């Protein structure tokens, strides 16, 4: 039994503790917004927050989450109100959309640590997230837009 909290909800999972957190979220908890892309921490599609840190859930055993707080894309906001979600919509960022949960979770951490990120900061924070459709230029714009919204106090 592994106990932790997901998006502020307490969960107890009867699952092999070596199971990657990604598959526990997707298959045991039905939270399919977090995606599988590579299984070896190369693409970032599975990015979630563990006690506020961005981690690749495809290589993190679920036991690592024990007693901790996990935030997934479903917990970013309940109503699309997060500045990043609003900026993503305004810039029409997603194409196929598959990698975007991971992109958003990486960007959310960046903005928390650096509310006014430079292009270099964005490079550093986002380079672990692959997008095959090539939405990088729009992700960059959307992060700057979200930072602007937060600076103007438009954040939630």
Please identify, using beta-carbon distances, which residue of 1 and 40 lies nearer to another protein: 40
Residue 59 C-beta: closest distance to another protein, Å: 12
Asked if residues 63 and 19 have their Cβ atoms less than 8 Å apart, the reply is no
Site string for another protein, 61-100 (x = CB under 8 A): -----------xxx-xx--x---xx--xx--xxxxxxxxx
Return the structure tokens found at 70: 């996990």
Residue 86 C-beta: closest distance to another protein, Å: 9
Torsions phi, psi for 119 (to 5 deg): -60, -35
CA–CA separation, 87 and 146 (whole Å): 5
First to last CA, the chain: 36
Give the one residue of 5, 11, 17, 28 binding another protein; rule: CB under 8 A. Answer: 28
Strand order in the sheet with 53-56: 9-13, 2-6, 69-71, 47-50, 53-56
Give the one residue of 6, 29, 43, 150 binding another protein; rule: CB under 8 A. Answer: 43
Q: Which residues bind another protein (CB under 8 A)?
A: 16, 19-20, 23, 26-28, 30-40, 42-43, 45, 72-74, 76-77, 80, 84-85, 88-89, 92-101, 104, 122-124, 126-140
């Amino acid at each position: 039994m592994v106990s932790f909290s997901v998006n502020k909800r307490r969960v107890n999972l009867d699952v092999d503790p070596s199971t990657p957190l990604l598959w526990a979220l997707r298959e045991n908890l039905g939270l399919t917004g977090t995606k599988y892309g590579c299984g070896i921490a190369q693409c970032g599609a599975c990015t979630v927050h563990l006690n506020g840190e961005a981690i690749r859930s495809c290589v993190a055993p679920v036991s690592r989450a024990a007693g901790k707080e996990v935030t997934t894309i479903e917990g970013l906001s309940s109503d699309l109100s997060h500045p990043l979600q609003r900026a993503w919509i305004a810039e029409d960022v997603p194409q196929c959309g598959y990698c975007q949960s991971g992109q958003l979770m990486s960007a959310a951490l960046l903005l928390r640590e650096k509310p006014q990120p430079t292009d270099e900061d964005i490079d550093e924070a986002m380079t672990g997230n692959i997008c095959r459709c090539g939405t990088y230029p729009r992700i960059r714009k959307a992060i700057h837009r979200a930072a602007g919204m937060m600076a103007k106090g438009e954040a939630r």
